[in-house]
């Protein structure tokens, strides 16, 4: 009899836990003088890093630990995508960004970045492949950052297909700060290549001796956000500063963004890195964040689900654990709002879905894919 009572108790506890979990799948929060429902599309993700949207309404989500997941539109089904190349998942490295080709519906092509190992350490690599169901086919490495180093931080790794069809790859300097000024390697630069990995002849340094031809800009610390401005077509990007001095920039051909010659931050030890925050020949940021927000993920909002946000720029914050909304007048940031800090989760990625909703990824060992919905569509 006691055994039956114990079984009933366990069943009740399990049902209670299930109901509790369902109750937490939606959370109503306020921002911009409105209320929004934060819907958990998928939970228990292992440090998710990036999300891409498939034509059937499902999601591709990378986990830093090295898994690529296909998650159904309603979040109820997840499948592991097979065929990834070896991923060196260590510290800040692992499987990182993922995007679909503009012609994905017909060519099924995706691009993804990851940290790969070698005799000298690890480095960022980019691959392209065709997605066939839950299998990657014709996987080909189209870019390898040189050199590989023992450091396991500052991989950068955001990807973007520019309006001209070229693939942009952001790279960190692997914590070897002075190498961001050395154009003889790829560290601390933005790379511009054709989708097949070849070098466009109009890159800025193709005819410059001693400079790697893939480099489009340099002097970066660690870029983890890149997005195309919907009106101007300009490429915006942000990067991590040291202790202070996170930057928001516009990408310019051949430009030097200054790290570590100029910075608004200091070293984590308190040591002064540079006494200058500006210098001739150095591209200045549009804004900088001090204290740091540790920006990651970025998108311009262009949809109609939140009319009051149209044209705004959204940036995820890791260290301050919020979504940041930037209101713009041209290239001037006129207002900033910290949103959804009540989640108390690091925001790793923010993307606008084809359905017009904003989606977030939270960076933790039980991370989540979230969708922001207006709590009352008639508001």
Q: Which residues have a catalytic role annotated?
A: 154
**In which element (H, E) is residue 22 found?**
helix 2-23
What is the distance, to the nearest Å, from the Cα of residue 328 to the centroid of all Cα atoms in its chain?
21
CB 296 within 8 A of CB 349: yes
- Contact between 248 and 238 under an 8 Å Cβ cutoff? The reply is yes
Tokens 């065709």 correspond to what residue?
130
- Find the largest Cα–Cα distance for the chain: 85
Distance, CA of 237 to CA of 243 (rounded, Å) = 19
Could you write out the DSSP letters of every residue in 34-63?
Answer: EEEEEEEEEEEESSEEEEEE-TTS-EEEEE
Rounded CA gap, 369 and 48, in Å? 8
163 and 233 Cβ atoms separated by less than 8 Å: yes
The residue among 293, 303, 295, 294 whose CA lies nearest residue 358 is: 303
Residue 366 near residue 351 (C-beta atoms within 8 A): no
Q: Is the omega angle on the peptide bond into residue 147 within 30 degrees of 0, that is, cis?
A: yes
Using DSSP's 3-state secondary structure scheme, residue 91 falls into: coil
Question: How far is C-alpha 369 from the chain's CA centre?
Answer: 13
Cis peptide, bond prior to residue 19, ω within 30 of zero: no
């Amino acid at each position: 009899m006691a055994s039956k009572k114990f079984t009933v108790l366990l069943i009740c506890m399990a049902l209670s836990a299930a109901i509790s979990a369902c109750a937490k799948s939606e959370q109503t929060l306020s921002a911009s003088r409105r209320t929004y429902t934060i819907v958990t599309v998928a939970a228990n993700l292992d440090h998710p890093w990036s999300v891409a949207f498939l034509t059937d309404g499902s999601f591709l989500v990378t986990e830093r630990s090295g898994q690529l997941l296909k998650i159904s539109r309603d979040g109820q089904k997840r499948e592991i995508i097979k065929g990834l190349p070896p991923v060196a998942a260590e510290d800040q490295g692992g499987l990182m960004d993922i995007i679909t080709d503009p012609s994905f519906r017909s060519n099924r092509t995706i691009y993804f970045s990851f940290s790969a190992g070698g005799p000298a350490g690890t480095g960022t690599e980019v691959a392209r492949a065709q997605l066939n169901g839950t299998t990657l086919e014709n996987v080909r490495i189209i870019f390898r950052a040189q050199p590989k180093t023992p450091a396991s931080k500052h991989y950068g790794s955001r990807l973007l297909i520019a309006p001209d069809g070229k693939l942009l790859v952001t790279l960190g300097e692997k914590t070897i700060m002075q190498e961001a000024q050395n154009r003889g390697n790829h560290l601390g630069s933005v790379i511009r290549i054709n989708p097949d990995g070849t070098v466009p002849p109009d890159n800025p340094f193709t005819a410059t001796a001693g400079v790697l031809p893939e480099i489009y800009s340099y002097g970066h610390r660690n870029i983890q956000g890149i997005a195309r401005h919907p009106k101007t077509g300009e490429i915006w990007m942000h990067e991590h500063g040291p202790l202070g001095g996170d930057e928001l920039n516009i990408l310019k051909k051949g430009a030097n963004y200054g790290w570590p010659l100029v910075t608004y931050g200091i070293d984590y030890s308190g040591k002064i890195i540079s006494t200058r925050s500006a210098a001739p020949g150095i591209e200045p940021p549009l804004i900088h964040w001090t204290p740091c927000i540790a920006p990651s993920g970025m998108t311009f909002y262009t949809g109609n689900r939140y009319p009051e946000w149209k044209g705004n720029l959204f940036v995820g914050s890791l260290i301050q654990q919020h979504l940041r909304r930037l209101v713009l007048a041209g290239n001037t940031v006129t207002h900033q709002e910290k949103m959804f800090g009540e989640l108390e989760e690091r925001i790793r990625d923010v993307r606008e879905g084809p359905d017009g909703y904003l989606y977030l990824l939270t960076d933790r060992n039980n991370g989540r894919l979230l969708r922001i919905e207006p709590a009352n569509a008639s508001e």
